Amino acid sequence: MSDTSKRIAVFGAGYVGLVTAACFAELGHRVAVRDVLVDRIAALRRGEVPIYEPGLDDLLERNRERLSFTTEVGEAMDGAEFVYVAVGTPPTYSGDADLSAVWTVIDELPRVDHRVVVAMKSTVPVGTGEKVRLRLDARGLEHVGYASNPEFTAEGTAVADFLEPDRIVIGSFDETDGEAVAALHDGIDAPIVRADVASAEMIKLAANAALMTRISFINEIANVCEATGADVVKVAEGIGHDRRIGKSFLRAGVGFGGSCFPKDSLALKQLAANSGYHFQVLNAVIEVNELQKRRVIGKLVELLGSLRGKRIALLGLAFKPNTDDTREAPAFVLAGRLLAEGADVVAWDPVAGADGLYGVEQVATVEEAARGADAAVLVTEWPQLNDVDWAVVAQGMRTPVLVDGRNMLDPQAMRAAGFTYDAIGRAAATGSA
């Protein structure tokens, strides 16, 4: 083991914790992963990966000898020089981030004699680091360092995002702790942004808010395109070439979901409100997104009339492709609205399950989902949908209506396949204005 190899304890074996652990092991560190979920740890010990994240299973397998999994805090902390906190921070009823899992980790940290640096990967409100510092000090753990090292990986591409990031952000109270956390990333070629702890925390929240703003912006442009006869796909292409604007996150659709954007936007909105500031742009971004998820219902009513007793196929359940994560997925909102309208809902997804979606039938193929349906809605742009024989799908439907909620398919090809095809903001391409 080289002397740059460190011992790291990662708390939380979820999407972020497992990717962090596997990638640090890949960089040569020894990593102990601790979770409270007994079954999850048992599965990991057997070599099973409890989440779907491309490339993660290979990485865990390749670095098996440097990784261990446990439910015991003491075992994880044995010899640890760094503690990565990667537990969930879901919203509370008030919209604030629920930090109870974070506090449990901090309060359970055993007394250590040597210097250990706690690094926060969980997304937390600005000011959390300051509070953790006070809590550690109150326990006589002044010699335990603290750094904010927020995570910017996206599910579906998390392994590559971690190992080839746009930047690494590290905020610390103590210069040497920040340097130590930076050194853990040796081998990764990326700019390192060193900051104070509060700014590092805000960088994460602001980055997410900026991305969400672009999504709601292009969705509003799409809605105006629909009203005026333009095509948002062309518009996005045209503005994306502008270097001041850029191409990314300009894809109109049925709105954003996932485990991060919705909760982080609420948390930032609430953080601002708690500080006496009304964050107007963010409020609009959230509202636009909520309305966007429901717009498809209006389209279906326009195309089919009353939805009572209609059979609607949802193509895709995951909040985006290449993940099994359905947290805050637009498909779930759509399903809920459709069921409330009295429709029968059948769903297909190659990876994600319909757990928690009561009354929704899940089937194994797109053809099966569409069979006998009055309309199909493409909700998640799974690459598998490129290989579907859409003419066969159209033939199997009661009425061949397809609403492409991600503007994934070619309008002309879909019409040629026999569909009445509608999309998001594509009036010029679909003739739907």
Catalytic residue ranges: 260
Which residue's Cβ has the minimum distance to ligand NAD?
14
Alpha-carbon distance of 309 to 53, in angstroms, equals: 37
Q: Provide the b/e sequence for 115-142 (b: ≥16 CB within 10 Å).
A: ebbbbbbbbbbbebbeebbeebeeeebe
From the CB of 234, what's the least distance to ligand NAD, in Å? 31
Q: What is the smallest separation between the CB atom of 185 and ligand NAD, expressed in angstroms? A: 16
Please tell me the total number of residues recorded for the chain in this structure. Answer: 433
What is the binding site for ligand NAD (CB under 6 A)? 11-17, 34-37, 40, 86-89, 101, 104-105, 121-123, 151, 153, 155, 259-260
Whose CA is closest to 240, among 217, 212, 207, 209? 217
| Between 104 and 412, CB nearer to ligand NAD | 104
β-strands 420-422, 401-404 pairing = parallel
DSSP 6-66: -EEEEE--SHHHHHHHHHHHHTT-EEEEE-S-HHHHHHHHTT--SS--TTHHHHHHHTGGG
Q: How many CB atoms lie within 10 A of CB 348?
A: 26
Q: Least distance to ligand NAD from the beta carbon of 80, Å?
A: 13
Which tokens go with 191? 């700019």
Tokens of 105: 């980790």
Closer residue to ligand NAD, CB minimum distance, 16 or 235: 16
Place of tokens 């009445």: 420
Residues 6 or more apart from 3 whose CB is under 8 A from it?
none
Do residues 250 and 214 touch, judged by C-beta distance below 8 A?
yes
Of 111 and 243, which CB lies nearer to ligand NAD in the complex structure? Answer: 111
Measured from the CB atom, the residue of 261 and 419 that comes closer to ligand NAD is: 261
Q: Number of C-alpha atoms within 13 angstroms, CB side, residue 402?
A: 34
Nearer to ligand NAD, 89 or 172 (CB): 89
Rounded to the nearest whole angstrom, what is the least distance from the CB of residue 50 to ligand NAD in the complex?
Answer: 8
SS3 95: coil
Other CB atoms within 10 Å distance of the CB of residue 45: 11
Provide the minimum distance between the beta carbon of 125 and ligand NAD in the complex, in angstroms, as a whole number. Answer: 11
Q: Smallest distance, Å, CB 347 to ligand NAD?
A: 22
The residue among 83 and 385 lying less far from ligand NAD, judged by its C-beta, is: 83
